[in-house]
Structure formats: C-alpha cells, structure tokens
Copies of this chain bind each other. A is one copy, B any other.
Amino acid sequence: MSAAVLYMSVSLDGYIADAGDRLGGTDGNRLHHWGLMPDGETFRSGGVAGEMLAEYNATGAVVAGRRTVEIVDHWGGDHHGMPIFVPSHRPAGESAAKHPLVTYVTDGIASAMRQAKEAAGDRDVLVHGAYTGQRAIEAGVLDEVQIHQIPVLLGGGRRLFDTLPSPVELEIVRVIDTPEATHLRYRIRRA
C-alpha cells in the first residue's frame, strides 16, 4: 500500500526554520547537518543519512507546500525526477509555468494527495512543509510522519506542529538513533 509520508527535519523544540526561514545555526542550515557532507551541500550517500536519502528517492511523487516550493523555486522543477503537486488556493505564479513536472492544485489538499498517489502508483508520496503536513493530517490524508529530530534548541522560528482541531494518536514504527539526529517514524492511527 502506498503511503503519504511527511519528511521533516526539526529541532527538539519543534522548529523547522528560524524566524527568517533559515534552518538555524550560524550557516543557516543547522537542521540539515545530519544529512550533508562537510561541504554543506552534497547529501551523504553512506550510513543512516544514505538510507534516508534512498527512501526519499524511492518515492514516486511529491506534495509540497507553496511556501516551501517558492523558497527553493520548485527545486528547479526537478525533485528526484518525480511529479510535484502544490496545494494552493491561489493559482500558480510565473516561475511554476517553467516546470513541466510541477502541478498546482487549487481544489484542496485531499485532491492534491489523490493526484500524487495516482502518479506515484505503488510508491510512497513524499510530503514536505509544515503547513501542508498539518492540513493533510486534518484532512485525514497523511499516513506517516518521518521526523529527523535534531539535538538543538533553536529557540524560535517556524514550528512543524502548531495547532490541530483534535488530538491524533500515532504508532511508533521505527526509531534510528545516531549522534547527529534521532530518526523517528510514526504511523497515524485512524480514529
């Protein structure tokens, strides 16, 4: 069964970015150190980080929030070659039109996820973005959450989880303990 999985690096105090939408730390990228080579750009191919990268790359579609995709200009239109769906109530901006793999979905998160799952076939759907992740949980269309929990307190910024209309029970699926990050995978329990 294909699953929609929210992948996010988050500080222990729950932040995914500082107030300036940087990922924290003196180089603005603290939350991704666990997965990056010392150059700060190349993803590690070995070890646990390599396993995580392989999981991302095995997904068959991406659902990402508008804020996320606009910060990175839709990853130049190419997120491991897979189709990218962006739920947004506003129509796509000019930059999106350059990218044939990018589709803006204006009729809601459930529709975006349905289209992504169709595109992904048997593969999982990679979900990115705090706002999008929470709306997907609310709408009952998120299946799993993969947190990379980083041993730092950022002290402020944008949170991964803000408020939800009611509590959501999770099942712990997998815990991977490394010095750089604790990789926690949860399955959302349906009420």
Question: Which A positions have Cβ atoms within 8 angstroms of B?
Answer: 12-14, 24-25, 30, 137, 145, 147, 149, 151-156, 159-161, 163-172, 175, 177, 179, 182, 184, 186
Q: Which residue of A137, A151, A179 has the most chain B CB atoms within 10 A of its CB atom?
A: A151
18 contacts across the A-B interface (CB closer than 8 A)? A12-B170, A13-B14, A13-B160, A13-B161, A14-B159, A24-B167, A30-B167, A152-B168, A153-B167, A153-B168, A155-B165, A155-B168, A156-B164, A172-B177, A175-B175, A175-B182, A177-B177, A182-B182
Closest to A153 in B: B168
Closest 7 A-B residue pairs measured CB to CB? A155-B164, A13-B161, A151-B170, A175-B177, A14-B14, A153-B168, A156-B163
Contact A153 B147 (CB under 8 A): no
CB-CB under 8 A from A145, the residues of chain B are 12
A172 to chain B, nearest CB (A): 5
Copies of this protein in the complex: 2
CB-CB under 8 A from A186, the residues of chain B are 12, 151
Contact B182 A169 (CB under 8 A): no
Closest to A188 in B: B153
Q: State whether A169 and B147 are in contact (beta carbons under 8 Å apart), knowing that A13-B14, A177-B175 are contacts in the complex.
A: no
